[in-house]
Amino acid sequence: MMTSHTLNARRKQSGITLIEVSIGLIIAAIVAAAAFIAFQNNARRTEVQDNIKQITEVISESKQKVGSTSGYTGFDQDVAAQLAILKVDSTGAVLPNSYNGDVTIASTDPNEAVLTWEAVEGDQCADIVLAVSNGVTSIQGTIGGTAGTAVPVVNGQITLTDATTTICGSGDEPVNIAMTFGRR
């Protein structure tokens, strides 16, 4: 037989309280925020790695297809596009990089060429500069139309201070990275 005391006890035990729901929502929000941050970091890392790979390929192919034979005399955008060193669209126009910035290449003398990778996001600049420094002789950043000092690369390495301060600036503005490389 059920008494009013038994019914009251059952009512108190059934369902979940507002506090329990709130705690569940807080935990779900924390998990969602952590997943979102991880996704953003992964997307950033992927974009940086893709750009490093593309820059390295352009420099390597330039050295192989042009620099090792006749040097860089006359080496420019058109020659790089004809040799499939730079990616082009169906009309032959050079495609922008993943930052929607121009990709240009030009010779400075028979023994050197300069690859410019424009509109690199400021917070990704140092990662790219440090990774590609092995294949270049100097790197220069241009921020807001003002060219910085060209930093020589010694033994394929550049310091973190040079990458973050001298080349990439504060990290807020897009950077045009000019990488000078030799024939070998």
pLDDT per position as a tens digit, 151-172: 999 888 888 888 888 888 876 7
Q: Is residue 146 a part of any domain in this protein?
A: yes
Q: How many angstroms separate the CA atoms of 106 and 178, rounded?
A: 11
Domain count for the chain, please give it: 1
Q: Is residue 84 a part of any domain in this protein?
A: yes
> 72 to each of 20, 32, 54, 66, 166, how far by Cα in Å?
70, 52, 20, 6, 28
pLDDT value of residue 144? 84
pLDDT value of residue 169? 85
pLDDT value of residue 2? 58
Q: Is residue 87 a part of any domain in this protein?
A: yes
pLDDT value of residue 165? 85
pLDDT value of residue 36? 86
Confidence class for position 23, pLDDT limits 50, 70, 90: very high
Confidence class for position 118, pLDDT limits 50, 70, 90: very high
Give the range of the structural domain holding residue 127, as residue numbers without chain letter.
Answer: 54-182
Q: Is residue 58 a part of any domain in this protein?
A: yes
pTM for the structure as a whole: 0.77
Kindly give the interhelix angle for 18-62 and 122-132, rounded to the nearest 10 degrees. Answer: 40
Whether the pLDDT of residue 122 is over 80: the answer is yes
Confidence class for position 8, pLDDT limits 50, 70, 90: low
Confidence class for position 47, pLDDT limits 50, 70, 90: confident
Whether the pLDDT of residue 173 is over 70: the answer is yes
Residue 152, classed as helix, strand or coil, is: strand
pLDDT in tens, 55-98: 999 999 988 888 777 778 888 888 888 888 888 888 888 889 88
Q: Is residue 46 a part of any domain in this protein?
A: no
Q: Is residue 104 a part of any domain in this protein?
A: yes
Q: Is residue 127 a part of any domain in this protein?
A: yes
CATH of the domain at 144: 3.30.1690.10
Query: Which of 60, 50, 54 lies closest to 134 in space, CA to CA?
Result: 60
pLDDT value of residue 177? 93
Q: Is residue 110 a part of any domain in this protein?
A: yes
